[in-house]
């Protein structure tokens, strides 16, 4: 049932990518435990606004855990401590009265900071541009039921395709690696018959791009999987490795 | 850049080299453990094993060179990746907390590896770079009979156990050896195996230290 | 203004084919000489951008979010319709057409809707080819589920995230063109105005949301695919950034806005928890297949649901609509929930919810079966409310969900401004006065993948302007207007926050222009909106500067537009004195108290033309004629 709690927030404030940032401390005042984390930030923002200050900038849009726009590191954990939950779906009932929350942006060389908690994740778009698709022009498709796909395979593909591209995997990885993100996309398409023609080219290109963009490498530490709000499995990382090895050894394209 | 070098210089390629060298080293460790455990069976068996090893001659040297190469590759890449990965997050977090995936072994690979490296220097000094006056069995008795050295050896072997308890699973993951039907509990099995290896080594040391009749 | 829908002649099934034959073409080599701006990268915008670029046009695509993958289409849960008839249950293009026309309460164009039904099958082909992992049967074929308003199973789905999977498909296609250099992608850009020169759309003014810079973009054609305006109500199931700004700015530059009062209110959403609620979450309509809707018989009964005996429960939908029961269309379900809450029988902390009870279904089919069907929805519900719907009935309440109204477009999807095309939820579309479930995704993709790529060439081929110069006075003047507006917002430094105004507007619209409407309420709203707007411009606080990322400024601009647009909505609602679809005028009901259409006076599209600030907009009517279906009153009893 609904209660109210008060929290102390230490939030990273930084004017822009080049300026110096620092933590600022705010008190939330009494807030309802029915609120979501972002609604709690809204309340603080409204108060700052009334005090003539700028509210904390943070990315968000759908607020139902699907667009992948929101995200911050709360007390050292990407999207906070609730497993399988985006920040927008994290509710305040999971905190205790008097808690102090340290809120930081996702940090990675590949995700430059823009302002406060807002970071630039366009590196993910660049990764997809390298081959995270099937090259089929509109109109050039065959009839949808021509290829039978075992239900299990379709399910596995969807498990991987559920990735919302929020970047929590990178933020949580001690090495700032993007293996789970790339692994999920490579797996989704490698599993399906539609992905076969470009299978090798896709994995080689995406891995090359991943290195170029400054992501770290994988230590199989599993933090990505644990932080992923969609619980994307690291078996997708193993599959990425496998696909890469196969393509490197066997594929004859350049 | 050629295809091979391009593959191997990519982050995945490097990790695969790590895993390949790591698996080779792990295999060696297993063989080494099997051989060393003959010490528990008494002096004769142990010496027979040592003699057999030496009888291999060129083959042994070939193997040693291979081992050295794998080791150097492994260490070189470990350091390279370690420093590169640190650069991937230039600004550290103020609060660092695991989201729930991390294990002690996984988090400490570079440290357990470093301990292994330092230990190995000592180990080689003790057994390889010496004049062979004493029979190996007595050498072993001398070294492990020294409590200070024995403790260091214990630390070294436990580091190997820790390293492998993450490493064995990690190498499967890196080489893409994964299948939902067969590998769903691989991480736990590998961790147990890794620890078991470390503990078995440790057992030999403990026996050597406390059992006066060791290898007599 | 003259509304020419350009509906091709000939029999319904042949119209689209004939039309495509009649359209002028541009040779592949010449296509690269044309620049096209696509504003929005949801399903409609992303699919259009990719398809146009594949043909060879130079495309520039803009969106608000940091990536096109986050367009609000991503949130669609239930599915997408197509007339494949894979279930062999009697579906056909004509049936899909008929269901959609009837579902829309006969306020859409026959020709458009028929074309939509025809194209629906190609959409599924296209998406499957892209690797969209739709649900499948054990045999490997595609699976279908059923949805409201239809008696056949024709909805394709990917668990509860069909929109996500479709959007990721379109996004992939778009990113492929980005890689090939045919699309220039400009994320984190907001269109703040349309540039019209010599009566033609020539470009837009955008604000770079990171640097704050105002940018001019010129093109031979502008495509708006910016989604719906449900956020006018403050609380809706739409994403936070959903807005009317792009379409409303176009309206102010001369594009007619059609049926702005047609707003769909979805019956099954998670109730608001209090004043700091920022948006509402939809619970899929599929839940009504097994959930029973009820409220306590006695008003004000505060007992826990389990303590209310069967005899003291009012299963009002089942009683009133014996043949459809809990599965009446969205608008009917929503209105009835409102009626119960108005009578004091609502439940929950705010008294604005009704129960959706699964206990009978669990008794009948077993917990496991029900969890298998709805497990992910139950989890989502529990995450938000901390209550398990298998222990205690779910609480649901109606929420603004979809806007059928939008910029008026002809059969080619061109607005009343030549060169300005409008796709997806942003146009007034094919859903008439009420949209059926799973047909918005279909429409957005039909527009983007197939219709616009076929029709835009004909417009471009007829263009005489060859180069667009963004240093021309029109661009500069438009940019200056935008700049002034921003400066005014920043300079106000009043005492009330943006959300405060937005909430006030939302509540007003919800009350007077929501599920039911009447003349008195609408007139009241019409009087109050200008007052709120007036205060907004004098008393709003917009902190920060215009030269940097400033989310307050972004919101302020959007709310300012909602405050103007709301008036057009209310005017439209006031002038349509019939009840149709989601537009329920209390004055217009039948003997059974149900909605009654007035086909003699209102069988038309109401398109509003901007006639200057503080002037009543001008109404233009596009008459709707029905040659292939018979107009009938909807009845679900
Ligand atoms: C919760 C929910 C569930 C739904 N479920 C279903 C379903 O199951 N089946 C179904 O058929 N339909 C469903 N719908 C409806 C459907 O999802 C939408 O109508 C449809 O996706 C709209 O697509 P769109 O491309 O027109 O707009 P959107 O997807 O909203 O995209 C709008 C784009 O425009 C951009 N944009 C907006 N304003 C500006 C501006 N001023 N400047 C620049 N860019 C701008 C945005 O960044 C975005 O890229 C659902 C809707 C909601 C809210
Ligand atoms: C007997 C010696 C050793 C064995 C058997 C061994 C074995 C392994 C194995 C199997 C792995 C897993 C590879 C993978 O992740 O795919 C590994 C990783 C690692 N090893 Fe070793 N190793 C040994 C010595 C060392 C030494 C001396 C170092 C020194 C610094 C070291 C540092 C590391 C590091 C840092 C990793 C993790 C690399 C990463 O995940 O990025 N190892 N090792
Ligand atoms: S705001 Fe969309 S996932 Fe959180």
List the single best residue of C55, C56, C65, C66 to mutate versus A (max A Cβ within 10 A). Answer: C66
Q: Which helix (H) or strand (E) holds C175?
A: helix C162-179
Chains touching C (at least 3 CB pairs under 8 A) are A
Band (B103; pLDDT cuts 50, 70, 90)? very high
Considering every ligand atom shown, identify the ligand nearest to the alpha carbon of residue A38 and give its number: 3
> Are A85 and A157 contained in the same domain?
no
Class of residue B200 by CB neighbours under 10 A (exposed 0-12, middle 13-18, buried 19+): middle
The angle formed by the CA atoms of residues B178, B181 and B182, to the nearest 5 degrees, is 60
A142 touches C129 (CB < 8 A)? yes
Question: What is the tens place of the pLDDT at every residue in A58-100?
Answer: 999 999 999 999 999 999 999 999 999 999 999 999 999 999 9
**Secondary-structure class of domain B3-89+106-210 per CATH:** mainly alpha
C446 touches C45 (CB < 8 A)? no
C-alpha A119/C-alpha C116 separation (Å) is: 40
Whether A72 is in a domain gets the answer yes
* Nearest residue (CA) to ligand 1, atom 35: C40
CB-based contacts of C492: which residues, under 8 Å, 6+ apart?
C537, C538, C539, C540, C541, C542
Which of B7, B94, B176 is facing A239, going by the closest CB pair? B176
Count H helices and E strands in chain B, helices first: 9, 0
B75 touches B119 (CB < 8 A)? no
Domain total of chain A: 2
**C283, closest residue in chain A (CA to CA):** A64
C-alpha C422/C-alpha B41 separation (Å) is: 85
pLDDT at B181: 85
Class of residue C616 by CB neighbours under 10 A (exposed 0-12, middle 13-18, buried 19+): exposed
C-alpha C367/C-alpha C378 separation (Å) is: 12
CA–CA min distance A218, chain C (Å): 25
**Residues of chain C positioned with their CB less than 8 A from the CB of A133:** 130-131, 169, 172-173, 175-176
Which of A85, A114, A194 is facing C549, going by the closest CB pair? A114
**A223, closest residue in chain B (CA to CA):** B101
* Nearest residue (CA) to ligand 1, atom 5: C76
Mean pLDDT of C542-552: 97
Band (A236; pLDDT cuts 50, 70, 90)? very high
DSSP secondary structure string for all residues of B63-126: HHHHHHHHHHHHHHHHHHHHHHHHHT-SS--SS----S---HHHHTHHHHHHHHHHHHHHHHHH
Whether the pLDDT of residue A254 is over 70: the answer is no
> Are A160 and A82 contained in the same domain?
no
Sheet with C153-156: list strands edge to edge.
Answer: C80-81, C153-156, C145-146
Residue C137 half-sphere exposure toward CB, CA atoms < 13 A: 11
Quick check: C161 and A162 CB within 8 A?
yes
Whether the pLDDT of residue B27 is over 60: the answer is yes
Q: Which helix (H) or strand (E) holds C127?
A: helix C110-129
Higher pLDDT, A25 or C369: A25
Q: Which of B61-65, C273-277, C615-619 has the lowest mean pLDDT?
A: C273-277
* Nearest residue (CA) to ligand 1, atom 14: C76
Average pLDDT, chain A: 96
Pocket probe mutation, ligand 1, options C37, C38, C39, C40, max atoms within 8 Å of Cβ: C40
Residue B51 half-sphere exposure toward CB, CA atoms < 13 A: 7
DSSP secondary structure string for all residues of C299-350: TT--S-GGGS-GGGEE-HHHHH-TTTGGGS-HHHHHHHHHHHHHTT--BSTT
| Domain C266-398 falls under CATH 3.80.10.10 | no
Considering every ligand atom shown, identify the ligand nearest to the alpha carbon of residue A175 and give its number: 2
Q: What are the domain boundaries of chain B? A: 3-89+106-210
CA distance readout (Å), A131 to A111, A190, A208, B64, C171: 20, 12, 11, 44, 12
Beta-ladder partners of C496:
C540
Whether the pLDDT of residue B1 is over 90: the answer is no
Quick check: B177 and A238 CB within 8 A?
yes
Q: Do chains C and A touch (3 or more CB pairs under 8 A)?
A: yes
CA–CA min distance A129, chain B (Å): 19
Band (A1; pLDDT cuts 50, 70, 90)? low
Q: Tokens representing A72?
A: 């911050």
CA–CA min distance C619, chain A (Å): 35
C-alpha B171/C-alpha B164 separation (Å) is: 10
Look up residue C399 and give its DSSP letter. E
Total residues found in chain C within this entry: 637
> Are A191 and A100 contained in the same domain?
no
Higher pLDDT, A254 or C360: C360
List the single best residue of A238, A249, A254 to mutate versus B (max B Cβ within 10 A). Answer: A238
C-alpha C397/C-alpha C273 separation (Å) is: 11
Mean pLDDT of C186-215: 97
Contact A53/C at CB under 8 A: yes
Class of residue C422 by CB neighbours under 10 A (exposed 0-12, middle 13-18, buried 19+): buried
C-alpha C249/C-alpha C262 separation (Å) is: 19
> Are A230 and A128 contained in the same domain?
yes
DSSP secondary structure string for all residues of A187-209: HHHHHSGGGGGGHHHHHHHHHHH
Question: What is the tens place of the pLDDT at every residue in B124-183?
Answer: 999 888 777 788 899 999 999 999 999 999 999 999 999 999 999 999 999 999 988 888
Whether the pLDDT of residue C204 is over 80: the answer is yes
C-alpha B141/C-alpha B40 separation (Å) is: 12
Q: Tokens representing C493?
A: 């430094």
**A224, closest residue in chain B (CA to CA):** B101
- Phi and psi at residue C402, in whole multiples of 5°? -150, 145
Question: What is the tens place of the pLDDT at every residue in C11-68?
Answer: 999 999 999 999 999 999 999 999 999 999 999 999 999 999 999 999 999 999 999 9
**Residues of chain A positioned with their CB less than 8 A from the CB of C210:** 114
Band (C601; pLDDT cuts 50, 70, 90)? very high
pLDDT at C274: 83
Q: What are the domain boundaries of chain C? A: 266-398, 481-609
Look up residue A111 and give its DSSP letter. B
Q: In terms of DSSP H, where are the helices of chain A?
A: 37-50, 122-129, 151-161, 168-172, 179-191, 199-212, 223-227, 235-250
List the single best residue of B20, B22, B86, B93 to mutate versus A (max A Cβ within 10 A). Answer: B93
Q: Do chains B and A touch (3 or more CB pairs under 8 A)?
A: yes
Q: What range does the domain containing A242 cover?
A: 121-136+146-253
Q: Do chains B and C touch (3 or more CB pairs under 8 A)?
A: no
Which of B14, B91, B103 is facing A217, going by the closest CB pair? B14
pLDDT at A253: 61
Q: Tokens representing C414?
A: 């061109």
pLDDT at C536: 98
Q: What is the CATH number of the domain that holds A155?
A: 1.10.1060.10
Residue C622 half-sphere exposure toward CB, CA atoms < 13 A: 27
* Nearest residue (CA) to ligand 1, atom 4: C76
Question: What is the tens place of the pLDDT at every residue in C157-189?
Answer: 998 899 999 999 999 999 999 999 999 999 999
pLDDT at B143: 93
Quick check: C126 and A122 CB within 8 A?
no
Which of A63, A67, A143 is facing C74, going by the closest CB pair? A67
Residue owning tokens 């008494």: B42
**A146, closest residue in chain C (CA to CA):** C141
Considering every ligand atom shown, identify the ligand nearest to the alpha carbon of residue C431 and give its number: 1
CB-based contacts of A150: which residues, under 8 Å, 6+ apart?
C136, C140
**Secondary-structure class of domain C481-609 per CATH:** mainly alpha
- C137-144, long-range: CB < 8 A, 24+ apart: C137/A151, C138/A151, C139/A148, C140/A147, C140/A148, C140/A149, C140/A150, C140/A151, C141/A145, C141/A148, C141/C86, C142/A144, C142/A145, C142/C84, C142/C86, C144/C84, C144/C86, C144/C87
- Phi and psi at residue A200, in whole multiples of 5°? -70, -45
B190 touches B168 (CB < 8 A)? yes
Instruction: Give yes or no: C330 in active site.
Output: yes
Residue B118 half-sphere exposure toward CB, CA atoms < 13 A: 10
Quick check: B85 and A109 CB within 8 A?
no
C351 touches C344 (CB < 8 A)? yes
A113 touches A17 (CB < 8 A)? yes
CB-based contacts of B62: which residues, under 8 Å, 6+ apart?
none
> Are A126 and A239 contained in the same domain?
yes
Which of A175, A211, A238 is facing B173, going by the closest CB pair? A238
C-alpha C40/C-alpha C190 separation (Å) is: 9
Q: State percent of chain C over pLDDT 90.
A: 89
CA–CA min distance A67, chain C (Å): 5
- Which of C36, C40, C409, C57 has its CA nearest to residue C201? C36
For chain B, the residues whose C-beta falls within 8 A of a C-beta of chain A are 3, 7, 10-16, 81, 84-85, 87-103, 106-107, 109, 166, 169-170, 172-178, 180
List the single best residue of C46, C88, C122, C133 to mutate versus A (max A Cβ within 10 A). Answer: C133
pLDDT at C323: 83
Band (C305; pLDDT cuts 50, 70, 90)? very high
CA–CA min distance C625, chain A (Å): 31
- Which of A210, A133, A168 has its CA nearest to residue C171? A133
Q: What is the CATH number of the domain that holds A28?
A: 3.10.20.30
**Residues of chain A positioned with their CB less than 8 A from the CB of B88:** 108-110, 175-177, 214-216
- Which of B186, B192, B191, B154 has its CA nearest to residue B173? B186
Higher pLDDT, A232 or C276: A232
- Which of A168, A22, A143, A174 has its CA nearest to residue A88? A168
Which atom of ligand 2 is found nearest the CA of B85?
41
Whether A141 is in a domain gets the answer no
Considering every ligand atom shown, identify the ligand nearest to the alpha carbon of residue B169 and give its number: 2
Q: Find the C33 Cα to ligand 1 centroid distance in Å.
A: 30
* Nearest residue (CA) to ligand 2, atom 32: B113
C398 lines ligand 1 (CB under 6 A): no
Beta-ladder partners of C605:
C622
**B172, closest residue in chain A (CA to CA):** A238
- Which of C204, C193, C189, C205 has its CA nearest to residue C66? C189
**Residues of chain A positioned with their CB less than 8 A from the CB of B101:** 172, 221-227
Residues 176-205 of A with CB under 8 A from C: 188-189, 192, 194-195
- Phi and psi at residue A27, in whole multiples of 5°? -105, 135
C97 touches C221 (CB < 8 A)? no
- Which of C246, C604, C225 has its CA nearest to residue C451? C225
Percentages helix, strand, coil for chain C (3-state, rounded to 5) are 40, 15, 40
Quick check: A210 and B11 CB within 8 A?
yes
- Which of C575, C571, C577 has its CA nearest to residue C599? C577
* Nearest residue (CA) to ligand 3, atom 3: A65
Which of C70, C126, C541 is facing A61, going by the closest CB pair? C70
Quick check: A42 and C499 CB within 8 A?
yes
């Amino acid at each position: 049932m609904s209660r109210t709690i008060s929290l102390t927030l230490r939030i990273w404030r930084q004017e822009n990518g080049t300026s110096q940032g620092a933590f600022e401390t705010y008190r939330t005042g009494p807030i309802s435990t029915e609120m979501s984390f972002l609604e709690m930030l809204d309340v603080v923002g409204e108060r700052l606004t009334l005090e003539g200050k700028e509210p904390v900038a943070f990315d968000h849009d759908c607020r139902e855990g699907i667009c992948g726009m929101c995200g911050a590191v709360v007390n050292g954990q990407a999207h906070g401590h609730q497993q399988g939950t985006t920040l927008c779906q994290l509710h305040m009932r999971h905190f205790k009265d008097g808690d102090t929350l340290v809120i930081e942006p996702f940090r990675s060389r590949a995700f430059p900071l823009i302002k406060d908690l807002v970071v630039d994740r366009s590196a993910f778009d660049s990764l997809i541009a390298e081959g995270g698709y099937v090259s089929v022009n509109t109109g050039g498709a065959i009839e949808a039921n021509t290829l039978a796909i075992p239900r299990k395979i379709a399910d596995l593909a969807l498990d991987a395709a559920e990735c919302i591209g929020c970047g929590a995997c990178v933020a949580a990885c001690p090495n700032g690696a993007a293996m789970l993100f790339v692994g999920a996309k490579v797996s989704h398409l490698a599993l399906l018959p539609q992905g076969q023609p470009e299978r090798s080219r896709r994995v080689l290109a995406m891995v090359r791009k991943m290195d170029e963009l400054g992501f770290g490498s994988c230590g199989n530490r599993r933090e990505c999987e644990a932080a992923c709000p969609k619980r994307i499995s690291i078996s997708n990382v193993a599959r990425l490795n496998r696909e890469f090895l196969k393509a490197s050894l066997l594929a004859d394209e350049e | 850049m050629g295809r091979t070098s391009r593959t191997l210089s990519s982050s995945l390629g490097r990790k695969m080299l790590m895993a390949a060298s790591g698996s080779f080293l792990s295999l060696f460790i297993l063989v080494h453990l099997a051989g060393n455990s003959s010490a528990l069976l008494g002096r004769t068996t142990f010496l027979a094993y040592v003699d057999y090893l030496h009888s291999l001659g060129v083959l042994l040297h070939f193997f040693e060179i291979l081992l050295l190469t794998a080791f150097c590759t492994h260490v070189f890449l470990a350091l390279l990746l370690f420093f590169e990965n640190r650069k991937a997050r230039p600004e550290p977090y103020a609060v660092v907390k695991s989201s729930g995936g991390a294990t002690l072994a996984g988090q400490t690979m570079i440290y357990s590896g470093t301990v292994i490296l330092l230990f190995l220097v000592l180990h080689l000094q003790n057994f390889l770079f010496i004049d062979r006056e004493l029979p190996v069995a007595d050498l072993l008795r001398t070294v492990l009979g020294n409590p200070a050295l024995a403790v260091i050896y214990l630390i070294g072997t436990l580091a190997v156990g820790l390293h492998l308890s993450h490493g064995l699973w990690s190498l499967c993951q890196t080489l893409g050896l994964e299948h939902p039907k067969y590998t769903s509990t691989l991480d736990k099995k590998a961790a147990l195996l890794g620890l078991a290896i470390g503990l078995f080594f440790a057992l030999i040391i403990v026996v050597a230290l406390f059992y006066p009749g060791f290898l007599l | 203004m003259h509304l020419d829908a350009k509906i091709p002649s000939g029999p319904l099934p042949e119209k689209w084919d004939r039309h495509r034959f009649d359209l002028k073409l541009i040779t592949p080599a010449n296509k690269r000489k044309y620049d096209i701006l696509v504003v929005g990268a949801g399903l409609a915008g992303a699919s259009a951008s990719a398809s146009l670029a594949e043909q060879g046009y130079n495309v520039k695509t803009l969106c608000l979010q940091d990536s096109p993958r986050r367009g609000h289409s991503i949130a669609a849960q239930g599915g997408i319709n197509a007339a494949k008839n894979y279930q062999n249950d009697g579906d056909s293009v004509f049936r899909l057409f008929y269901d959609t026309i009837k579902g829309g309460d006969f306020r859409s164009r026959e020709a458009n809707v028929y074309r939509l039904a025809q194209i629906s099958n190609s959409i599924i082909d296209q998406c499957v080819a892209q690797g969209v992992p739709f649900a499948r049967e054990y045999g490997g074929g595609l699976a279908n589920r059923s949805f409201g308003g239809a008696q056949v199973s024709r909805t394709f789905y990917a668990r509860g995230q069909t929109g996500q999977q479709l959007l990721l498909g379109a996004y992939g296609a778009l990113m492929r063109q980005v890689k090939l250099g045919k699309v220039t992608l400009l994320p984190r850009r907001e269109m703040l105005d349309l540039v019209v020169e010599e009566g033609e759309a020539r470009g837009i003014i955008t604000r770079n949301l990171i640097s704050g810079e105002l940018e001019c973009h010129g093109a031979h054609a502008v495509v708006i695919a910016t989604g719906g305006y449900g956020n006018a109500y403050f609380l809706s199931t739409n994403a936070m950034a959903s807005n009317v700004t792009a379409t409303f700015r176009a309206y102010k530059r001369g594009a007619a806005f059609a049926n702005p009062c047609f707003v769909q209110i979805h019956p099954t959403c998670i109730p608001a928890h209090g004043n700091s609620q920022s948006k509402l979450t939809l619970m899929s309509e599929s839940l009504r297949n097994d959930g029973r809707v009820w409220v306590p018989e006695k008003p004000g009964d505060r007992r826990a649901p389990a303590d209310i005996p069967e005899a003291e429960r009012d299963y009002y939908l089942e009683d009133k609509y014996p043949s459809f029961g809990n599965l009446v269309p969205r608008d009917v379900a929503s209105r009835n929930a409102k009626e119960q809450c108005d009578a004091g029988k609502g439940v929950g902390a705010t008294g604005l919810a009704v129960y959706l009870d699964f206990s009978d279904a669990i008794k009948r089919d077993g917990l496991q079966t029900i969890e298998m069907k709805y497990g992910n929805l139950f989890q989502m519900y529990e995450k938000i409310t901390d209550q398990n719907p298998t222990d205690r009935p779910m609480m649901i309440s109606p929420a603004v969900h979809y806007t059928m109204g939008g910029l008026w477009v002809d059969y080619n999807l061109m607005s009343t401004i030549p060169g300005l095309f409008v796709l997806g939820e942003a146009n007034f579309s094919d859903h008439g006065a009420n949209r059926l479930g799973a047909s918005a995704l279909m429409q957005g993709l039909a527009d983007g993948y197939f219709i616009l790529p076929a029709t835009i060439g004909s417009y471009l081929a007829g263009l005489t302007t060859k180069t667009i110069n963004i240093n021309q006075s029109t661009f500069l003047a438009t940019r200056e207007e935008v700049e002034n507006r921003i400066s005014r917002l920043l300079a106000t430094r009043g005492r009330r926050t943006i959300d405060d105004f937005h909430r006030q507007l939302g509540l007003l619209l919800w009350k007077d222009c929501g599920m039911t409407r009447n003349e008195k309420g609408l007139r009241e709203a019409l009087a109050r909106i200008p007052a709120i707007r007036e205060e907004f411009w004098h008393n709003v606080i917009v902190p920060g500067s215009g030269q940097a990322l400033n989310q307050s400024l972004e919101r302020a601009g959007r709310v300012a537009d909602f405050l103007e647009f709301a008036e057009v909505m209310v005017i439209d609602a006031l002038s349509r004195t019939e009840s149709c679809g989601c537009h329920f005028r209390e004055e217009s009901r039948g003997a059974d108290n149900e909605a009654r259409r007035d086909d003699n006076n209102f069988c038309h599209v109401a398109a509003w033309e901007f006639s200057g600030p503080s002037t009543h907009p001008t109404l233009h009517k596009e008459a709707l004629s029905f040659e292939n279906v018979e107009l009938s009153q909807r009845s679900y009893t």
